[in-house]
A and B are shown apart, each in its own frame.
Chain A
Amino acid sequence: MVFKRYVEVGRVVLINYGPDAGKLATIIDIVDQNKCLVDGPTNLTGVTRQVIPYGRIALTDLTVKISRNSRQKTLTAAWTEADIQAKWDASSWAKKLSSKKKRAALSDFGRFKVMVARKQKSSIISKKMAEISA
């Protein structure tokens, strides 16, 4: 099994527990085998510079080219240069997260619309299947 996602300076992570849950951050330094120093950058993602244990983060595929302990200005510049936010939003992981959020926030009318749409989709599919197999 080859490892592709490493804990390293510059790795973009998704925080999945705690007050900043659901936000992106970058690893700017590693404390030890249990925790790392992470920064948003604050003006782009809302995560302030803090120590966070690995159990609270999920590593993503994205990395940023920074050196250890970079300041927020350099980090922000590197983020915008690498266009991390756009790359993240285009990933299927981010899309799944946002669709889950949308579904959880649906009203009853929204859920009704979803049901109708699914029925329409399945009727189109079954008509096509009948054409192909006939």
Chain B
Amino acid sequence: NDCVQLIFDFVGWGTDEKGIIVILGHRTVYQRQQIRRAYEEIYQEDLVKRLESEIKGDFEKAVYRWILEPADRDAVLANVAIKSGKNYNIIVEIATILSPEELFAVRRAYLHRYKHSLEEDVAAHTSGHIRQAMGLVTSFRYVGEEINPKLAQNEAEILHDAVKEKKGSYEEAIRILTTRSKTQLIATFNRYREIHGTSISKKLVDEGSDEFQKALYTTIRSINDHIKYYEKVVRNAIKKVGTDEDALTRVIVSRAEKDLKLISDVYYKRNSVLLEHAVAKEISGDYKKFLLTLLGKEE
């Protein structure tokens, strides 16, 4: 019955966005896939393909992203980033914030969609240090609570030399960041702070930083505390003149079923404004209604 309603909405695309927002925005990933299947049965057309051809603006893009399965969504985001040649932070996010199993699901989805492996396309579109850093996408990190304190000490020093002092070898820094388990890395970052008094990511990037340094920075911040990282992405997206809708959509759609609430809480603590209010101020129309629905705060 959801589907029947949706059919009318989509067929008359542009006439009842409210229906789309209200229905899709409140469905879980499982339910959305059911809707997709039912649509295909009735209309012999993939709902996703239909949406792909109808994307005109931010609202359609957000709905399209929302309806994709998470792994497929991230595969699409990664592909867009690769083709753009600059949004490596998106690839870093996918590679570091997802669990190793989730990352593999993205790799599978990417293979299925693009008939190339994710690492194949990343490597073919990058070079030098940034290509090596993209070794992040091939990682399959060990997941466990074990920490080796001596290793944390050694590797904190290696990271310091490479990243802060800009001497030593970037290769060793990349090795550590792309292969160690997240638990081990967080221990390493903590050890770094104990030794040097500041967090490793502080002042890691400035206006002069190149893509590689920015990628390193994103890697460290995403692994260390991805909620805080996402809060900053959202804050910058809102602050930016004209608003970075793409980044806003990306964070809200990707995290709505995971930890968007935590990100909102951190946003409020940091900015003394509720995220939904900040968002409502900067954007409008169906796009605004859809994002607010995902935020759980429809008007």
A and B pair up: no
Question: Which chain B residues have a beta carbon within 8 Å of chain A's beta carbons?
Answer: none
